[in-house]
């Protein structure tokens, strides 16, 4: 634990809503994969801003680019053309093989936009009450709609009534998906994380992803894959679903796309690319020049420094080291995940293992 904190952060601030169980640490600055608190104590940053700080802290190529952009233009409005939007969108289209992009500021916003796309897709087909298939243990955000799509009763408690129009199914069970949607003409989309983050590093199997893609094609549904946390090279591919060799119709992104600058995106394929028209959706801050510059530079630096291959290499090393160090531990159930998105499932409280 760090030394004494400044008095104004010793306890919950009377001026900030108490929505987080904060650690007794106040960070001051960072460099690479390390951060320092206000007392000068150094830490290895294993949190990475919750899958946000793709390039680490104070990257020597990113910081000057952001400083340059701040001096030029931070924010304008989507009433004007923002050239950097086209630059970043073109790169995301190239990497994904999809068609166009809507920019926003967070993963929640990206997922909310995906849900709206699915509903309008249904209404355009004459379906008055569209339904979307979602998954057990999923996490898509904390707005009322994304919370309703989330598969965790704990985070939903106290916020009812939730939004209707969702059908929940278990992971990796194509028969359960078919049974839950049988004879239901209102289904318009299937929505899931390629690897569940909040839900426990639960991966959709490659064969299952291919089966769902085929089912969506057969039934004219949108396949919507939430890559907010598992995307942006974390697994060793730009997007985790690419390990299965498929393409979604809708792909929300955020977190690591801006290396700490708030950014979100919805990348759409041909079936979904032209559902929205002017006035159907929008954002104040999304697509601002600073966020777009952060996204452009993040992708460029990731490619220059070979970070996707590094995620595979370091992920394999980490997984092997964990298996070696935890071999024989009675509380170990499984080490799972892909690349640098790994999890350890235990049958005992984690504190017991850490204590040993």
Question: What confidence tens digit (pLDDT) does each residue in 219-263 have?
Answer: 999 999 999 999 999 999 999 999 999 999 999 999 999 999 999
CATH number of 63-304: 3.40.640.10
SS3 334: strand
- In the chain, CATH 3.40.640.10 sits at 63-304
pTM, rounded to two decimals: 0.95
State the DSSP code for 76.
-
Question: What confidence tens digit (pLDDT) does each residue in 55-105 have?
Answer: 999 999 999 999 999 999 999 999 999 999 999 999 999 999 999 999 999
Rounded Cα distance, 225 and 247, in Å = 9
Q: How confident is the model at residue 7 (pLDDT cuts 50, 70, 90)?
A: low
User: What residues act catalytically?
Assistant: 139, 226, 255
Task: Tell me if 61 sits within 8 A of 297, measured CB to CB.
Answer: yes
Q: Put the strands of the sheet holding 42-44 in their side by side order.
A: 27-31, 34-37, 42-44
Q: How confident is the model at residue 354 (pLDDT cuts 50, 70, 90)?
A: confident
Q: Are strands 187-193 and 131-135 parallel, antiparallel or unpaired?
A: parallel
Query: Counting Cβ atoms within 10 Å, is residue 168 exposed (0-12), middle (13-18) or buried (19+)?
Result: middle
Q: How confident is the model at residue 8 (pLDDT cuts 50, 70, 90)?
A: low
């Amino acid at each position: 634990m760090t030394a004494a904190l400044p008095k104004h952060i010793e306890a919950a601030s009377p001026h900030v809503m108490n929505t987080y169980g904060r650690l007794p640490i106040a960070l001051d600055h960072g460099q690479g994969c390390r951060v320092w608190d206000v007392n000068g104590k150094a830490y290895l940053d294993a949190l990475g801003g919750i899958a946000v700080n793709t390039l680490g802290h104070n990257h020597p190529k990113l910081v000057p680019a952001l400083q340059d952009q701040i001096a030029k233009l931070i924010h304008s409005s989507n009433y004007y053309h923002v050239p950097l939007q086209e630059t970043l969108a073109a790169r995301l289209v190239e990497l994904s093989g999809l068609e166009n992009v809507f920019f926003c500021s967070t993963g929640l916003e990206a997922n909310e936009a995906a849900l709206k796309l699915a509903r309008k897709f249904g209404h355009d087909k004459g379906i008055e009450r569209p339904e979307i298939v979602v998954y057990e243990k999923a996490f898509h955000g904390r707005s009322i709609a994304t919370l309703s799509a989330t598969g965790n009763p704990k985070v939903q408690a106290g916020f009812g009534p939730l939004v209707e129009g969702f059908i929940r199914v278990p992971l990796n069970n194509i028969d359960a998906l078919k049974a839950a949607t049988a004879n239901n003409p209102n289904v318009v989309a299937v929505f899931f994380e390629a690897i569940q983050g909040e839900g426990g590093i639960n991966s959709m199997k490659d064969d299952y992803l291919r089966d769902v893609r085929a089912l969506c094609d057969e039934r004219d549904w949108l396949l919507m894959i939430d890559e907010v946390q598992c995307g942006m090279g974390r697994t060793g591919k730009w997007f985790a679903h690419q390990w299965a060799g498929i393409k979604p119709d809708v792909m929300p992104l955020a977190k690591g796309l801006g290396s700490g600058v708030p950014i979100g995106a919805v990348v759409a394929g041909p079936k979904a690319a032209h559902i929205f028209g002017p006035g159907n959706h929008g954002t104040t801050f999304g697509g601002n020049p600073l966020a777009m510059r952060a996204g452009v530079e993040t992708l460029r630096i990731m490619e220059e420094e070979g970070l996707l291959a590094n995620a595979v290499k370091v992920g394999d090393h980490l997984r092997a080291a964990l298996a070696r160090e935890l071999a024989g531990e009675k509380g170990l159930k499984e080490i799972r995940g892909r690349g640098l998105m790994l999890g350890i499932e235990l049958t005992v409280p984690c504190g017991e293992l850490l204590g040993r």
